[in-house]
Amino acid sequence: MTSSPGSDTVAPCDLRLRDVTLAEGRRATIDIRDGRVAILHDPGAPLPPAARTIDLGGALVLPGLADGHVHLDKCLLGLAWRPHRAQGSVRAIIADEKAFRRTTRVPLAAQGAEALLERMLRGGTTSLRTHVDIDDVTRLDHLAQILDLRARWSDRMQIQIVAFPQSGILGCPPVADDLDEALRMGADLVGGLDPVGIDGDRDGHLDIVFALAERHGRGIDIHLHDGGEAGLDTIAAIAARTAAAGLGGRVTISHAFALAEADDLQLGRIAEGLNRAGVAILSSVPGGRRCPPIPRLRDLGVPVCFGTDNVRDCWNPATVTGMVDRAQLAAYRFDLRTDGELAALLDPVTTVPARVLELGPGVVAPGARADLIAFRAGSVPQVIVERQAPVLVVARGTVAIDRHGAAAGGPPP
């Protein structure tokens, strides 16, 4: 039988992906109409007319991947190689980046934002959340440029924008007012940064962030690099404020490095608070000792999403742009080897961001946005351990990348 309303069985579709394998192992043919999945046909079912058909010969098809944390305005992929200079603290890196920006006048699209979007799309990312710096150097200029870029890429990429106070709020006087204006201009969320480590006033910083969110009816995404008890206390405070403000499901803590230092008893208490408040954790699966215990958080029911964070910028020279690569980093870091453990790493880049960040379709199902990616693989674990690049990317029902007829390849360049 076919899984759709009866009217869909006779109406033509815009695009048909014939003979695919879904993540659960089921074979199907996918019909797409008006940018959404219209129907999943069972093998052997009669097929109505289609404007275009691509026979995938059993290729694995997954929902488009979601990158929950990137910085389009920082990327330098469009420029000549720049050796990494900043060392030490977050403050030192912020100062180095601001010095670079004072002397650079290259538009963000040419500086690297466009190149980064192209790489991400080739890697299967069709949805992302980008943070855009609002400080005394950039003011609202970077936001205006990224808003324009979002409009130009709207047919290929879902882009959420966070107005991000990279230099703090209390210690950078123009920022509070500029964040307010950024939300009026079209930023989707208000950001925050290390209320203790950067602004030195946890409650003062959070007062402004939560007041802006409530005033504009927007979500919150706070960078939290602070470790130790200060970091853990801030996580608890964010959860408490989220619950009090009724913002459950609309607040994310990015990085949350302090969770890596919590003992299991502390972690259990914090997880209970996060779950009760409806706060998600975003991790780039960093190196060193700062990575939150992702498998344990999953066991405790905390929603965890993955993001790339920095790509070839003043913070990090690395160029890992794909969510498949991010999942593989998590597998390596936490020694995940079984098929069940590996397959579960698809959730932080599909179902979880769809549910808690409103990023991506999350599933391949009738009615879902037709962001779909195909791999020459028999299963999700194979895709992750081989760090495969998709051979086909469909964004909003339109073919964006088509390599399914070419020789099998590795990760995107």
* Cβ atoms within 10 Å, residue 172: 18
Angstrom distance (rounded) from CA 391 to CA 398: 14
> Using the 8-state DSSP alphabet, how is residue 126 labeled?
E
For the chain, the straight-line distance linking the first and the last C-alpha, in angstroms and rounded, comes to: 41
DSSP string, 246-275: T-TTSEEEE--GGGGG--HHHHHHHHHHHH
Q: What are phi and psi of 36, to 5 degrees?
A: -135, 160
Task: For tokens 């194979």, name the residue.
Answer: 382
* Cβ atoms within 10 Å, residue 264: 10
Angstrom distance (rounded) from CA 225 to CA 240: 19
Q: What are phi and psi of 254, to 5 degrees?
A: -90, 140
- The domains of the chain, with CATH numbers, are 6-64+363-402 (2.30.40.10), 65-356 (3.20.20.140)
Residue 49: Cβ-neighbour burial (10 angstroms; 0-12, 13-18, 19+): exposed
Structure tokens at 166: 């990279």
Q: What are phi and psi of 327, to 5 degrees?
A: -65, -40
For the chain, how many residues are written?
413
pLDDT > 70 fraction of the chain, expressed in percent and rounded:
95
Is the Cβ–Cβ distance between 176 and 191 less than 8 Å? Answer: no
- The reported pLDDT for the residue numbered 407 is 44
Angstrom distance (rounded) from CA 369 to CA 395: 9
Global pTM value? 0.94
pLDDT, tens digit, for every residue of 56-94? Answer: 999 999 999 999 999 999 999 999 999 988 777 898 999
pLDDT, tens digit, for every residue of 34-52? Answer: 999 999 999 999 999 999 9
In 3D space, the residue among 312, 246, 243, 315 whose CA is nearest the CA of residue 272 turns out to be: 243
Angstrom distance (rounded) from CA 197 to CA 8: 56
pLDDT, tens digit, for every residue of 166-180? Answer: 999 999 999 999 999
- The reported pLDDT for the residue numbered 105 is 87
